[in-house]
Chains A and B, each alone.
Chain A
Amino acid sequence: MEDNRKQIINMRGIIKRFYIGTPNELTVLKGIDLDVYEGEFVAVVGASGSGKSTLMNIIGSLDRPTEGEYILDGIDITKAKDAELSGIRNRKIGFVFQTYNLIAKTNAIKNIEVPMLYAGIGMKERNRRAKALLEMVGMEDRMHHLPEELSGGQKQRVAIARAMANDPAIILADEPTGALDSSTGRMVMDIFHKLHKEQGKTIILITHSPELAEECGRIVTIKDGEIIGVREGRGGVAV
């Protein structure tokens, strides 16, 4: 039934090895097949060392698989050059990190403008969109605050707004609540749900928390570099 929806991620037999050709060669991903369709909210869960970070790097086009096929929103990532990968990250992926990774000494609105800057969007348009995005995450009154003047939850909201800057095909959130207390984490999760439900964003959430994973539409469990289970969550599919 999902087949008639637009496929955002199409991974076949993804293998990632490190230290190739040396005695301590390490296979971190041992053949991952993963399909993600537009509007899905997918949780990738796994213990640390399971390979989920490596998978996330490959999904986010920060890294290329050693073997296998990966089509992201119609683009063959395995064949893309480095310079093309940065363009793909810029337009197709919205990263949200556990440690926020806002650029220091740069205020909230300028932080949100960064991806638009690399996309070559003009100053006025950048500013207009950054403001709209800040409003969306409820941070319009902290526009000119520097990251060090913001709380963790506020920083993460700015980071989510930044991830949305170029209207990417997927939001890739790596333990977005990992550094937050539960109530702030809840608020951040609510923003993801809002993006998913109201805007139909495709979101991949990487987490080790079973509770958060349960909120998503589909839960993919990884262990030792292999997908050991895929099941439905409570979150369902966007309207």
Chain B
Amino acid sequence: MMLGENIRLALSGLRANKMRALLTMLGIIIGIASVIAIMTVGNSLTAELNNEFASMGASNIDVMVTRKLNEEDISDSGMIYSSTSSNKEPKDSDFITEEMLEAYIEAYDDKVYALAASENVGQTQVKDGNLYANVAIRGVNLGRLYADKKEPLAGRVFSEKELAGAAKVCMVSDKFVNNMFNGDMEAALGSTVYVELGNKNYLFNIIGVYEYEQMTYYFETVAEKDIQTELYIPLKTAKNINHKSNYEEFTVIGEQGIDVNAFVTETQDFFNKYYENSKDFEIWAYSMNSYMEEINSMMGTTTLAISVIAGIALLVGGIGVMNIMLVSITERTREIGTRKALGAPNSSIRIQFIVESIVICLIGGIIGMILGILMGYGGIKLIKSTVFAVSVKSVLLSIGFSMAIGVFFGYYPANKAAKLDPIEALRYE
């Protein structure tokens, strides 16, 4: 018997018994809806985190000097504790030198796009009469500005000459301009900022204005006016203020398309050559990329675990389908007998009821899928995620799974129907 005819038969059967059909499907609907909803929320969260990481520079490699973990620092239980003997604060001479960086760039010219470094000087309030602005003073190189995507809204970035000569110039945020210059950027450019740090005073010439960007997860508790923004000065200027010449840490901005994870290891190994003889310090390099992979796999595992639980709902739904199929077959014993008398082979009867079971599950699956996507969308709105990513995989999986449930839980009742003795079936009251 043809498949189309079977499907039509199943659909007309469902139409004749709408309430029962809906109740039968309910288990499947709930199961599929929860799987899809969970996977959609999980997927969207993962996608959003990935976007976030990408904007933070997932492929950037942070390199820093850390304390060496000597063998005596690791206890038998594997716990790491600080032993007072080696708990030394690193001196400037323990840090990465300009020469090391030059050697590194030379060695990995094809993989390094830029090096980003910064030096924090301190936080203060810039005042001018009633006007004030909170700033954090930070020395940066061009690589840092590039990595942080600080493009000048007005003016320019530091010149090579200013960077090399430790010029007393600065870049301020648009918020700073709002506070100090009433938003007039042209007026700000060329003006001098008077900064009091500790007991020393510094003067910086404003050469550029950058756009302040609020951190996504930064919870604003202070008034707009009091927001602290960064005041960028050339890296060398900052190092001079701090009496430093070397680098405690920096960021490598890799060329596009490089294998970041491998390059992290290469970079770490490269610098550690310089620290072979250091008793207390070594180089640690890491990239967001590896964190991202970890988080992705964690999200994946969590989603899978919850999906398994939702899968149990599907199983229960499947048992419900089997139950109702058995009832339906008992009710239709005479029909089965008649069909057999009219020449239906066992296989046709079996297929007829399996198709009916598949149709129930498939319709349930499709309703569940739509509900699940809606629920997922609601869930995403609820956690205020901006990304809505329906998992195509989960949709295909659910549809396939509901069909499989139809076959699996439909087979036993269908087989029972197929094996009915036509004489007994025709005599059934």
Contact = CB atoms under 8 A, between A and B. Distances in A.
Given A101-B338, A105-B13, A91 B343 contact: yes
A14 to B, nearest CB: 16
A221 B71 CA distance: 107
Contacts of B339: 103, 114, 118
Contact of A60 (B2, B341, B345): B341
| 6 closest residue pairs by CB, A with B | A90-B343, A101-B338, A86-B345, A118-B343, A115-B342, A105-B16
Nearest to A163: B342
A118 B339 CA distance: 9
A104 B16 CA distance: 10
A89 B13 contact: no
Contacts of B342: 89-90, 95, 114-115, 118, 162
B426 interface: yes
Given A63-B423, A103-B335, A117-B1, A87 B341 contact: no
Interface residues of B, number: 24
B335 A87 contact: no
Contacts of A119: 343
A82 B340 CA distance: 11
B422 interface: yes
Contacts of A239: none
Contact of B338 (A82, A83, A87, A103): A103
Interface string B317-336: 00000000000000010110
B245 interface: no
Contacts of A162: 342
A83 B346 contact: yes
Contacts of A150: none
Given A90-B343, A97-B426, A101-B426, 9 more contacts: A86-B343, A86-B345, A89-B341, A89-B342, A95-B342, A101-B341, A105-B16, A118-B1, A118-B344
B423 A117 contact: no
28 contacts: A57-B423, A60-B341, A62-B340, A62-B422, A63-B423, A83-B346, A86-B345, A87-B343, A87-B345, A89-B340, A90-B343, A90-B344, A91-B343, A95-B341, A97-B338, A97-B426, A101-B334, A101-B426, A102-B338, A103-B335, A103-B338, A105-B16, A115-B342, A118-B339, A118-B343, A118-B344, A118-B345, A119-B343
Interface of B: 1-2, 5, 9, 12-13, 16, 332, 334-335, 337-346, 348, 422-423, 426
Interface in A51-91: 57, 60, 62-63, 82-83, 86-87, 89-91
A194 B320 CA distance: 51
Nearest to A92: B343
Contact of B12 (A97, A102, A106, A118): A106
Main secondary structure of the interface of B (DSSP, over half): helix
B345 A83 contact: yes
Contacts of A118: 1, 339, 342-345, 348
Contact of B335 (A57, A95, A104): A104
Contact of A115 (B2, B343, B346): B343
B414 to A, nearest CB: 16
A101 B340 CA distance: 12
Interface in A106-149: 106, 114-115, 117-119
Contacts of A115: 342-343
Contacts of B13: 105
B252 to A, nearest CB: 70
B12 A105 contact: yes
A171 B104 CA distance: 98
A162 B2 CA distance: 19
B69 to A, nearest CB: 76
A166 B341 CA distance: 13
Contacts of A104: 332, 335
Contact of A82 (B335, B341, B346, B423): B346
Contacts of B343: 86-87, 89-91, 115, 118-119, 166
B308 to A, nearest CB: 39
A105 B21 CA distance: 15
Nearest to A118: B343
A90 B423 CA distance: 15
A100 B292 CA distance: 70
B35 to A, nearest CB: 33
A133 to B, nearest CB: 14
Contacts of A87: 343, 345
Nearest to A174: B426
Contacts of B340: 62, 86, 89
A132 to B, nearest CB: 18
A59 to B, nearest CB: 12
Contacts of A102: 338
B255 to A, nearest CB: 65
A134 to B, nearest CB: 17
A97 B423 CA distance: 12
B423 A62 contact: yes
A181 to B, nearest CB: 22
B332 to A, nearest CB: 8
Contacts of A91: 343
Nearest to B347: A83
A106 B10 CA distance: 11
Contacts of B338: 97, 101-103
B36 to A, nearest CB: 33
A83 B349 CA distance: 12
B341 to A, nearest CB: 5
Nearest to A104: B335
